[in-house]
Amino acid sequence: MCLNNLLFFPQQTWLFENKIKAQTLYQFHYINENKNWTEAQQYCREKHTDLATVTNMEGLTRLLSKSPGTMAEAWIGLYGQTNGIRKWYWSLPGVEFNVNITEWDNAEPDDHDTENCGFILESLKWGDISYCFVSLIGLVFYKFHLIEQSKTWLAAQSYCRKEHTDLVSGLDQVTDEQLRKVLSSTDSLQDKLRYVFMGLFRDTWRWSDGSSFSFRHWNLQFDDEQNNSGQCALVEFSGEGRWKNSQQLDRKFRFDALSVSLPDKLILINQNKTWEDALYYCRDHHHDLVTITNMDDQIWIREKVKKATSPLVWTGLRYTCTLDFWFWVSDEVVSYHNWASDELMDDCDMSGAMETGGEYKWFKRNDANMFNFVCSKHPLGE
């Protein structure tokens, strides 16, 4: 049997934080009523925003910091689609998986026996594997020093999140030539192992509010290789706030509601304009076209655009042909993005638009298209 590995990089090298500008744009509420998941979802949508969406460890900490009283567990907004299509995600929140830019090895992913975890070969090519739930001897790379471990994929993810940031995620990390050198120069890997775990996984779980956030915090006994069709997720308030799946949708639990606060910072303009006209309108009447720098911004703006009258809304995201990169017109760095996976190639005269339903993904569109748009009323951080 081939042995598997897990791989991560130190937090300092690739975790972007913007704590100065971060704001609490949403609140969690515990509802002290027993309802099944569907009833809880309806209640939250009528009286708040939706069942709780948890986007990262910081959000989970905030959720757990609210006293649940006598509750041992509660519904959150994560559910397993009935006969749903499995979708690939990166473990690290905020890193989007693009189905059009991958490094799969020949004949991969082959999906034998429901293969939901990703591994990386010495060649930096990828494959899928069905041993997510099996505890195997492996190796951890930390600053390119090897430490032997014996962990399942979930336990590996948990270890990385506790001690560092997360399992290695995203093309920038898994295509790094320095990684190739480490894998090819490691005697243990050459003698015993042919591949290592990375932070790639797939599932059919979706969030009630339609968002596509990849964050999961399952208990270490969770087995997503089983059929979870039609199930729903509960957060347990003991220990680390791990999640578990419920086998019966008719079981009644108390639940967590998500309420999005909308300070007087943004304004949706229900007029269709080209991107350039939208930019000038915002600068003449308000401050600028909107900037989205993190997942909190994404959640906040998502609530605004639900009332748009066009399928997409313009944002302040712009592509420059001369320098070949995307930038925010507010001069913010594009550190967070939420592109749709089947997006167009970069081209001149393109700007970024956000869909007003579904998963609220971003799309590249020619500037001449006419959409509603969102203006910021103040500079970021004010």
- The residue among 151 and 275 whose pLDDT is bigger is 275
- Cβ-count burial 61-80 (b if 16+ within 10 Å, e if not): eebbeeebeebebbbbbbbb
The pLDDT of residue 15: 22
CB atoms within 10 A of CB 359: 15
- Percentage of residues of the chain with pLDDT beyond 90: 23
* Highest-scoring range by mean pLDDT, 61-65, 119-123, 165-169, 212-216: 212-216
- Which residue, 125, 173, 131, is CA-closest to 154? 131
- Which residue, 212, 187, 194, is CA-closest to 202? 212
Identify the DSSP state of 17.
-
The pLDDT of residue 366: 94
The pLDDT of residue 138: 45
**Tokens standing for 349?**
């005269």
The pLDDT of residue 90: 93
Least confident of 62-76, 140-154, 251-265, 294-308: 140-154
The pLDDT of residue 369: 96
Q: Rounded to the nearest 5°, which phi and psi values hold at 38? A: -65, -40
Residue 243 pLDDT class (50, 70, 90 cuts): very high
| Superfamily of segment(s) 1-261 | Mannose-Binding Protein A, subunit A (3.10.100.10)
The pLDDT of residue 72: 83
Residue 22 pLDDT class (50, 70, 90 cuts): very low
- The residue among 368 and 221 whose pLDDT is bigger is 368
**Residue 143 pLDDT more than 90?**
no
Non-local (6+) Cβ contacts of 117 within 8 A are: 128, 129, 130, 131, 132, 153, 197, 200, 201
Q: What count of residues does the chain have?
A: 382
The pLDDT of residue 33: 83
Find tokens 């911004």 and name the residue.
297
Whether pTM > 0.85 for this model: the answer is no
Do the beta carbons of residue 112 and residue 353 sit within 8 Å?
no
The pLDDT of residue 279: 95
The pLDDT of residue 7: 35
Non-local (6+) Cβ contacts of 245 within 8 A are: 80, 218, 222, 228, 231, 232, 233, 234
CATH of domain 266-376: 3.10.100.10
Residue 259 pLDDT class (50, 70, 90 cuts): low
Do the beta carbons of residue 202 and residue 212 sit within 8 Å?
no
- The residue among 189 and 378 whose pLDDT is bigger is 378
SS3 state of residue 334: coil
Distance CA 285, CA 268 (A): 12
Domain with CATH 3.10.100.10 in the chain: 1-261, 266-376
**In the predicted model, what is the mean pLDDT of the chain?**
78
- The residue among 134 and 176 whose pLDDT is bigger is 176
- The residue among 344 and 375 whose pLDDT is bigger is 375
The pLDDT of residue 146: 42
